[in-house]
Amino acid sequence: MYKAGQAEIEALTRVIETGALFRYGVGHECETFERRYADYLGVKHFALAASGSNALAAAMAAVGLGPGDEVIIPAHTYMATATSVLTCGAIPLIVDIDESITIDPNAIEAAIGPRTKAVVPVHMWGAACDMDAIMALANERGLIVIEDACQGVGGGYKGRKFGAVGHIGAFSFNYYKNMTCGEGGGVAVNDDAQAERARCAIDPCHFYWQGRSDAVQPFSGNGARASELMGAMLNVQLDRIDPMIAAMRAEKQQILAGTRSLGNLGLKATPMNSPDDDCATHVMYSLPSAEAASRFAQLFPCAIAGRTGRHNYTEWDQILMGAGAAHPAMNPFAMPANAECRKHYSKDMCARSLEILNRTVMVPTHPDHTPDDIADIVHNITAAARVALGEITEGDAAFRKAAPLDAQKFDMQVEG
């Protein structure tokens, strides 16, 4: 969470005082946000859910994924990307990322098999996937593209908002996201029937409140309905998002400009697929080795991508153990329909991804950083890089007072 204040307090107070906490019939905050956020994204429908995990599972149900299907996902993403595939009975197929820290289109192409039905590009850390290449490949090979924009609220790709480029998109609004209501999520889609299926997956009884329709057959699912408190806070947060992202983009550009000469030394800016449209929540650099990245992180407070725990496939216990459901009879890994799906995993299966991640460092930005803060960040990055890459000794480096960071966000990244 970057910002929350009096406007959020007043919005929540208003809902509590009116007693209109339920979204159907008495409240209007959720419907208002869904309409506003759909317009913001440039899509026809947006359906609120209780979390990003709920949203991913609902999006996958909406497009009809199920037993017998393989779904390609990247080796670096929050584990809900993988577990949501299992929730709908399909099998996740894990492939490498590239230097952008997002899914490698070449790895997608190499992994496509007769059972592959969908791919989930994840805009990791708010950085865009190569959506042109992914959409071209999907169109050629008949794949469904489910954009995981849970970490990309406010970002986009070549002028289009995340979640509006693929066939369907999923978002998270939990505490650590750019826009938050504590927990929350939602599905963005243009197709009318898929929107209705997403709403049914989020709330199987939604038609009771909104009217039955013969257009889409209802189905059973777990409830993940949003409350009016969530909608009220998100309506305020939506007003904040663009100025916040603009401030972080400006900070990122200043940091990159101030550290560009370090590329000759070995601290290189991570390549970006849409550098003018990403969320800019971090400035990411690659170093020549994992050892150099570790040394840099000892000197400058930052996260190493390979050490963010649950974001790396090596920490997805449910996948590695084949524990796809609470009851063995519901475990997709054991379903006869998935017998021909590829479901063999090991901790070294995406070694190239791990090598990239372990030498990639992420410097967090913040909309409240001042020009002096940013100048100190540039100075300290320069000093840390010069020490980590052997140009000077630590005794010769003069570090300035560190700029204030979002401590909880930073701890979450480092501890994973």
Instruction: Let me know whether 175 and 210 are in one domain.
Output: yes
71 in Cβ contact with 145 (< 8 Å): no
What is the per-residue pLDDT for 413?
44
Instruction: Let me know whether 121 and 262 are in one domain.
Output: no
Rounded Cα gap, residues 316 and 83, in angstroms: 9
3-class DSSP assignment, residue 407: helix
In sequence order, what DSSP letters do the residues of 277-325 get, joined into one string?
Answer: TS--SEEEEE-SSHHHHHHHHHHS--EEGGG-GGGBGGG-HHHHHT--S
Instruction: Let me know whether 73 and 91 are in one domain.
Output: yes
Instruction: Let me know whether 165 and 62 are in one domain.
Output: yes
Instruction: Let me know whether 148 and 17 are in one domain.
Output: yes
CA nearest 400: which of 373, 375, 376?
376
b/e per residue 349-381 (b: at least 16 CB within 10 A)? bbeebbebbbbbbbbbbbbebeeebbbbbbbbb
Assess if residue 1 is contained within a domain: no
Helix (H) / strand (E) element for 192: namely helix 192-202
Rounded Cα gap, residues 153 and 92, in angstroms: 24
Instruction: Let me know whether 157 and 37 are in one domain.
Output: yes
Rounded Cα gap, residues 237 and 32, in angstroms: 13
235 in Cβ contact with 32 (< 8 Å): yes
pTM value?
0.94
Assess if residue 323 is contained within a domain: no
CA nearest 46: which of 198, 187, 225, 197?
187
Instruction: Let me know whether 184 and 292 are in one domain.
Output: no
Instruction: Let me know whether 42 and 176 are in one domain.
Output: yes
> What is the arrangement of strands in the sheet containing 144-148, beginning at the earlier edge strand?
45-49, 185-189, 168-172, 144-148, 116-119, 70-74, 91-95
Assess if residue 392 is contained within a domain: yes
Task: Select from 194, 218, 236 the last residue of a domain.
Answer: 236
Rounded Cα gap, residues 138 and 218, in angstroms: 28
What is the per-residue pLDDT for 403?
53
| Residue 175, domain CATH | 3.40.640.10
Assess if residue 318 is contained within a domain: no
Say which residues have a Cβ less than 8 Å from residue 120's Cβ, sequence separation at least 6. Answer: 56, 71, 72, 73, 74, 77, 81, 85, 103, 145, 146, 147, 148
What is the per-residue pLDDT for 280?
97
What is the 3 state secondary structure string of 26-62?
Answer: CCCHHHHHHHHHHHHHCCCEEEEECCHHHHHHHHHHH
What is the per-residue pLDDT for 197?
94
Instruction: Let me know whether 113 and 253 are in one domain.
Output: no
Domain residues for 228?
6-236
Instruction: Let me know whether 279 and 227 are in one domain.
Output: no
Assess if residue 281 is contained within a domain: yes
Count of domains forming the chain: 2
| Residue 269, domain CATH | 3.90.1150.10
Assess if residue 75 is contained within a domain: yes
Say which residues have a Cβ less than 8 Å from residue 380's Cβ, sequence separation at least 6. Answer: 299, 300, 399, 400, 402
Rounded Cα gap, residues 204 and 190, in angstroms: 20
Instruction: Let me know whether 180 and 277 are in one domain.
Output: no
In sequence order, what DSSP letters do the residues of 111-176 get, joined into one string?
Answer: H--TTEEEE--B-GGGPPP-HHHHHHHHHHHT-EEEEE-TT-TT-EETTEETTSSSSEEEEE-STT
Q: Tell me, what amino acid is at 10?
A: E
One digit per residue, the tens of pLDDT, for the chain of length 416 reads 899 999 999 999 999 999 999 999 888 999 999 999 999 999 999 999 999 999 999 999 999 999 999 999 999 999 999 999 999 999 999 999 999 999 999 999 999 999 999 999 999 999 999 999 999 999 999 999 999 999 999 999 999 999 999 999 999 999 999 999 999 999 999 999 999 999 999 998 877 777 777 777 888 888 899 999 999 999 999 999 999 999 999 999 999 999 999 999 999 999 999 999 999 999 999 999 999 999 999 999 999 999 998 999 999 999 999 999 999 999 999 999 999 999 999 999 999 999 999 999 999 999 999 999 999 999 999 999 999 999 999 888 889 876 555 444 444 444 33
Task: Select from 236, 260, 287 the last residue of a domain.
Answer: 236
CA nearest 149: which of 258, 286, 234, 52?
52
Assess if residue 162 is contained within a domain: yes
Q: Tell me, what amino acid is at 192?
A: D
For residue 164, how many other CB atoms are within 10 A of its CB?
Answer: 21
Task: Select from 236, 269, 291 the last residue of a domain.
Answer: 236
Q: How far is CA 48 from the centre of its chain?
A: 16
Instruction: Let me know whether 295 and 255 are in one domain.
Output: yes
Specify the pairing of strand 144-148 against strand 168-172.
Answer: parallel
Q: Two tokens at 306?
A: 């390979």
Assess if residue 21 is contained within a domain: yes
